[in-house]
Structure 1
Amino acid sequence: MQIGEDMQYLLLTLAIAFGGGYILHRFRVPGGMMLGSVIAVALLNINTSIVEIPGSFRFVAQCIAGAYIGMTVNKEDLKRLKHFIRPTVTLLFGLFVTNLVVGFIIYFISPMDLLTSFLSAIPGGISDTPLIAADMGADATKVTVLQFVRLVSGIAVVPLLVGKGEMENVSVEKDVSPVEKRSPSFSRNLLVAVAVASASGYLGKLAGVAAGTLLFAMISIVILKIAGFEVTFPIWFKRMAQLFSGAYIGSHFGYQDVIELKFLLLPAAVIVVINILACYIMGNTLSRFYGIPRSQAILSSSPAGA
């Protein structure tokens, strides 16, 4: 009876998570599927005692997220990369320094621990960073909130740094990304890729590497792609990962976390100001020293990864 009741609670929690995520996704909120599921499950968790999300959901979400990231890489990208080694290294160095600066400032001005501060400052993806935070033992709820602030500020402010005239000159590739091409929802190659990503993610988990599940799953799909294995991950795969990770994080969001949200106001302001300033500096640096059009350089430095 207990197993049946737990399953009912799990299905109810997932249904509510999907409802919250779907609403924000329909309203085109950045990272809406994940953020909505976090909010919905968090509210359910605060007001009831029925939330039941097993830790295995985090593993599934990490495998899917890693596989989806790996799917965005193709041979053509790797061939072109050799022409952008220096600007890429410069950009990565700038992002790393920015992450360190913002992380240390957040640590000193807030009650958050150092690891949570650094992960909150990462200019990465809102769908992936909270999963990494949960995997490493950081406060994933606070990371999610601050990552959302980073994402929205990047989307809202960075285009203003470029200017309307320059934005119109930004070239857009006509080729559709392998992830966006339409393909059957299920295929043999897709099932093989999912199996490989899951097995690799499990090896990463056993290896004890930080964020090993996501990292190993991503690398395995990149290797498959380089080897010429053709597969396309449907967009709903990513949505499912966002749903699972959002539900998992929301299930750890309690009343105390709501009270502590007031401590995130100053860190949020720091993230917005320093990230936008760093984006402007790095963009102009890439443009000046490597001849990259200023608009593209600034957008490449944007802290708006979803």
Structure 2
Amino acid sequence: MTRASILTTLAFVLLGGFGGYIAQILHFPLPFMLGSLVATALGSTLFARAIPEGYLFPQQVRLIFLAVIGVMIGAQVSPELLELLPAMLASFTAIALFVGLAHGGNYLIFRYIGGYDPATAFYSGTPGGLMESIALGEAAGADIATLTMQQFLRIILVISLVPVGLSLWMGAPVGSASGITLAHASPSDFSHVHLVVLTGLAGIVLGKLLHLPAWQLTGPLFAAAAVSATGLGVLDMPNWMISVCQVVIGASLGMRLGGLRGRAMLHGTWLGILSVGLMLGIGLVFSLILVRLTGQPLDILLISFAPGGVTEMALVALSLNANPALVTAHHIWRIIMTVIELAFIGRYVQPRVL
């Protein structure tokens, strides 16, 4: 990295931190990630001339902090959760069906209501696998700026609307807006940080070797789940450390949205609302069916289908007195099913259709 790139990265992380702080004051869901994303997207648009030509947010930096988030989520896995897995067969089957129905419906929205070209509509409509969708869409000739915008809007709308809707239903804030965190350590407790780092590094290597979907996140997640579920160690970390990770990830994502203009954003937001409404509606139908089959509460099943941020949905589950790892397991399965679907269509269908 050049000196200019380092200074630019530092400036955007600081801007993201300021945006996260403002979002926390305003009680936004997932404030440090969402606030950072919005602030850096605005900054990269308003100050585009000050950004060095060809600058990209360093992915190596993003990878480190994404791995910590993966460890944080995986640390919620417990032996009690593993005992529940056989009973989750029905909901896992429903999520596989959900992926196909949601993706098909989203394609129709983006293609025939939004007017996007086939490749952009197809990869904009995936109900998960953000980075995989962007990478495959770019290779297929999709409009990468539009695709990136729609994928980010999916996450932003879900992590905003679902916690707010549940807060109104429950009569009290849920998720990160309620002040709940997945962190248990005190701000000055670094006693477990070394194990968090080692687990994250091992997970990165594991995820890349096994070609896991979203391996930067899922590799550390599975590694942390193995450590936590077997009792090999404690993976607590201070809450401020998790917030810093969210700021960096939000800043790296916000940079991708820089340069989009108002009309395109308004059009994309309207389509995003239609898309998210469709997906939440499909998820609600499946949840109503699964209430009878699994005995799980309706609200827990609904957030298990919500195609948004894994971290925020886990926080919502925690505020509803449910195990966040149970919800996370469903979201990881949704990502896996989406990537499998993309791989199949990309190999056998896409050359004849898109």
Comparing 279-288 with 212-221, greater Cα deviation is found at 279-288
Quote the Cα distance in structure 2 between the aligned partners of 1:26 and 1:178: 16
Residue 155 of structure 1 is matched in structure 2 by: 163
Aligned: 1:69 with 2:73: yes
Structure 2: gaps of 5 or more residues: 139-143, 173-179, 313-354
Residues 3 and 86 of structure 1: is their aligned pair in 2 closer, same or farther, counting only changes over 3 Å?
closer
- Counterpart CA distance in 1 for 2:104 and 2:165 is 20
2:92 is aligned with 1:89: yes
Question: How far is 1:28 from its partner?
Answer: 1.3
| Superposed displacement of residue 257, structure 1 | 5.5
Contact 2:207–2:215 (8 Å) recurs in 1: yes
The separation in 1 between residues aligned to 2:3 and 2:71, in whole angstroms, is 32
Partner residue of 2:218 out of 209, 215, 219: 215
The answer to whether the 8 Å contact 2:41/2:257 transfers is yes
Query: Aligned pair in 2 of structure 1 residues 221, 23: CA closer, same or farther (>3 Å)?
Result: same
Change (3 A) 1:50 1:158: same
Deviation at 1:78, TM superposition (A): 1.1
Q: CA deviation at 1:285?
A: 0.7
Across the aligned residues of Structure 1 and Structure 2, the Cα RMSD in angstroms comes to 3.3
Say which of 247, 252, 256 aligns to 2:251.
247
Q: TM-score, normalised by structure 2?
A: 0.68
Q: What is the count of residue pairs matched by the alignment?
A: 284
The alpha-carbon distance between structure 1 residues 192 and 294, as it changes in their structure 2 partners (threshold 3 A), is closer
Query: What's the secondary structure of 2:275's corresponding residue?
Result: helix
Instruction: For 1:278, give the aligned amino acid.
Output: I
1:146 to 151, 154, 164: 154
The answer to whether the Cα contact below 8 Å between 2:200 and 2:224 also exists between their aligned partners in 1 is: yes
Structure 1 residues 230, 159: closer, same or farther in 2, change over 3 A?
closer
Correspondence for 1:38: 37
Cα offset for 1:29?
Answer: 0.9
Superposed, which structure 2 residues align to 1:61-140 within 5 Å? 61-82=65-86, 84-109=87-112, 110=114, 111=116, 112-118=120-126, 121-122=127-128, 130=130, 139-140=147-148
The equivalent of 2:10 in structure 1 is 11
What's the offset of the Cα at 1:219? 0.9
Give secondary structure in 1 for the equivalent of 2:83: helix
Paired residue for 1:126?
none
Tell me, in whole angstroms, the C-alpha distance in 2 between the residues paired with 1:245 and 1:283. 31
1:237 aligns with 2:241: yes
Change in Cα spacing, 1:194 to 1:117, as seen in structure 2 (3 Å) is same
Residue 251 of structure 1 aligns to a residue whose secondary structure is helix
2:257 aligned counterpart, secondary structure: coil
Equivalences for 1:256-271 in 2 at 5 Å? Answer: 256=260, 258-271=262-275
Instruction: Name 1:59's counterpart in structure 2.
Output: 63
Matched with 2:340 is none
Q: Is the 8 A contact 1:131 1:245 kept in 2?
A: no
User: How big is the shift at 1:243?
Assistant: 0.9
* 1:189 matched to 2:192: yes
Q: What amino acid maps onto 2:20 in structure 1? A: G
CA distance in 2, matches of 1:145, 1:300: 19
Contact 2:24 2:31 in 1 (8 A): yes
Assess if the C-alpha contact under 8 Å between 1:190 and 1:231 holds in 2. yes
For each residue in 1:68-110, what CA deviation from the matched residue of structure 2 results, as whole angstroms up to 9, or x when unmatched?
A: 221121112112333x234433442353244323432344233
In structure 2, what is the Cα distance between the partners aligned to 1:63 and 1:298? 27
- Alignment correspondent of 1:282: 286
Q: CA deviation at 1:35?
A: 1.8
1:134–1:7: structure 2 CA closer, same or farther, 3 Å change rule?
same
Match of 1:25 in 2: 24
Query: How many angstroms does 1:133 deviate by?
Result: 5.3
The 8 Å contact of residues 79 and 229 in structure 2, kept in 1 or not, is answered as: yes
Q: Is the 8 A contact 1:154 1:303 kept in 2?
A: no
Distance 2:131 2:9 in 1: 19
CA contact (8 A) 2:77 2:228 kept: yes
* Whole-angstrom CA distance in 2 between matches of 1:241 and 1:189: 17
User: What is the CA–CA distance in structure 1 between the aligned matches of 2:72 and 2:148, rounded to whole Å?
Assistant: 21
Paired with 1:256 and 1:296, the residues of 2 have a C-alpha distance of 36
SS at match of 1:252: helix
Are the counterparts in 1 of residues 19 and 39 from structure 2 also a CA contact under 8 Å?
yes
Unmatched runs of 5 consecutive residues or more in structure 1: 123-128, 169-176
**Contact map agreement 2:185 2:239 (CA 8 A) in 1:** no
Judged with a 3 Å threshold, the aligned counterparts in structure 2 of structure 1 residues 203 and 287 are, in CA distance, closer, same or farther, namely closer
